[in-house]
Amino acid sequence: MMTRLPFLTLLLVSLLILTLEAKTKDLYKVLGVEKTASQREIQKAFHKLSLQYHPDKNKNKGAQEKFAEINNAYEILSDEEKRKNYDMYGDEKASPRFDAGYSQDNDGYTYFTSGGGGPGHGQNTFRPGEWQSMGGSGGSKSFSFSFGGSGGPGSFGFGLNDIFSNFFGGDTKGRGQFGGFGGSTRSQSGPRSSPKNIRTINLQVFQKEISEQGMTWLLLSYTPTLKGNQHIESILEEVASTVQGALQVGSINCETELSFCKDLGIYPRRAPRVFIYSYISSDKGSLVEYNGELAVQDLRSFCQEHMPRFSKRVDLRHFEFPSVTSEKLPRVILLSTKKNTPVIWRVLSGLYRKRFILYDAQVQDVTDPTVRRLGVDALPAIVGWLSNGEKHVLKTGISVKDIKSAVNDLSILLDGFEKKNKKEGTRKAKTSTEEKQITLLTGSNFDTLCGESTPVCIIGAFRSPRAREKLESILSMVSQKSLTRRKNSAFGSRDSISYAVLDATKQSAFLNAFEKAGFKSVDKLLVAYKPRKRKFASFVGEMTIEEVERFIGSVLNGDIQFRETRKKPVLKQES
């Protein structure tokens, strides 16, 4: 026992010297802040220094070591628990050197540990009674030391790896690798793995889940030997967590995916690189490198700037509501009180940019006449139009718990509407050959279509090919419907109405019979004409299926005021 004492004493003194040496590195001084500094002050100091000593920007000797030192200091002081331990115990690795001890299966005795394994697994373990002079005064416990384990919850947590890190800047991981700088703050050795929210990306994942898929991705390209990977990953994770559902995060190990990284042009040089898969320049997406400060707020703003913008911002007062068009895609519009396009809608615009035509508009409230006309009773709201022009109020009074759940819920809504549009398109294709064709009104067919034997004639007058196409499409669809009529209506069946279109540019005299100016100020209009009574009613409003149906329904039910014509309408004979 006596022969062991000098050796043990020498060993303990050596360890204490090493500990004191480690303690001399003041992490607050490394960052240039006071010990009372707030997290915001620590963060600002770190960002300033990391930019100053970043290896890509600072080529001076020692810059890389300084950069690693700054990262190490920030990793400890930015973590409240690690900072607390550092302030209490002065351990650069932020783990206490003397605390309550690891009691499980070890009789309540504390272990001084290094390397791998656990309490009692080392080769040199001193049990109680072999060292009795370290316990302090009055009833304090004896201490035993083990050089073999990483320690349990109550161990010192300070091992040879930590000691070597203080001097050589690297984690030995039990393999005697003292090269490199900065060290690792992990207490246990082992291969580096990405945090749980960061997806590991390879060529197959990139092609299947990222390229042209419409979702914004934040990507880290790195090699395991580069310093700062862990810190950057933590920033990326924090950014993603604040906009969860709007942004995905991935990392690419360019050591194992060398050709993939080189093909994309993202291979890291002397430091990890951050990219965003952006949809700013094209709907196919492209990689854009982030070169700003590695701060959560700055990076989040950069990501938001690069999120999709495939929704067209419109003024609802001047918006031409969709009717039947040659487009096969359904259309949707978001109505909200937001000054700018909401992030959720921008995310959806990326995901659905090839399947929908998207709009969004700022409105004051539901008392707005344009909002009421759409049948919306609460905001925010989504209104959709099938490709045949049929309007549907998809959702009103939308409530959002978070971005992720909102994107999921609204995706289900849009998927359902897309399915309905396809079903309607299939039905229309089957019945297109049976659809009633709207005849062009001329002098030769006027008596047949709008003669005195016809109770009411609906005439769509146009001044352009586009207006003609729209009127023909709407009147064709409306003519196939059984519109609501009162039982005492003067018109008992669909056959009591005839439909026709008129070229207003060639038949101006005909229209002058209804109005002195001949409706020259409008590109398209409807005239409901009663030949027997020579009375008429006109409609020059929004040409949508709903509005046209409402006008014709009012004509059928006698809810609209008819006026006498100025003279008998006569069509010009065409040569």
Q: Which residues of the chain have pLDDT under 70?
A: 1-24, 89-196, 322-327, 427-436, 482-495, 574-575
Residue 161: its pLDDT value, please?
31
Q: What would the pLDDT profile of 256-309 be if each residue is shown by its tens digit?
A: 999 999 999 999 988 999 999 998 878 889 999 999 988 898 999 999 899 999
**108: alpha, beta or left? (left if phi > 0; alpha if psi -120 to 50):** left
Residue 154: its pLDDT value, please?
34
Question: How far apart, in whole angstroms, are the C-alpha atoms of residue 382 and residue 366?
Answer: 13
Q: What is the pTM of this model?
A: 0.49
Residue 416: its pLDDT value, please?
95
Question: How far apart, in whole angstroms, are the C-alpha atoms of residue 316 and residue 432?
Answer: 32
Q: What would the pLDDT profile of 161-192 be if each residue is shown by its tens digit?
A: 332 222 223 333 333 332 232 333 333 333 44
Query: Whose CA is closest to 550, among 537, 565, 563?
Result: 537
Residue pair 550/481 in contact by the 8 Å Cβ criterion: no
Q: What would the pLDDT profile of 422-432 be if each residue is shown by its tens digit?
A: 988 776 655 55
Residue 431: its pLDDT value, please?
52
218, β-bridge pairs: 249, 276
Question: How far apart, in whole angstroms, are the C-alpha atoms of residue 181 and residue 165?
Answer: 8
Residue 546: its pLDDT value, please?
87
461, β-bridge pairs: 502, 525
Residue 411: its pLDDT value, please?
94
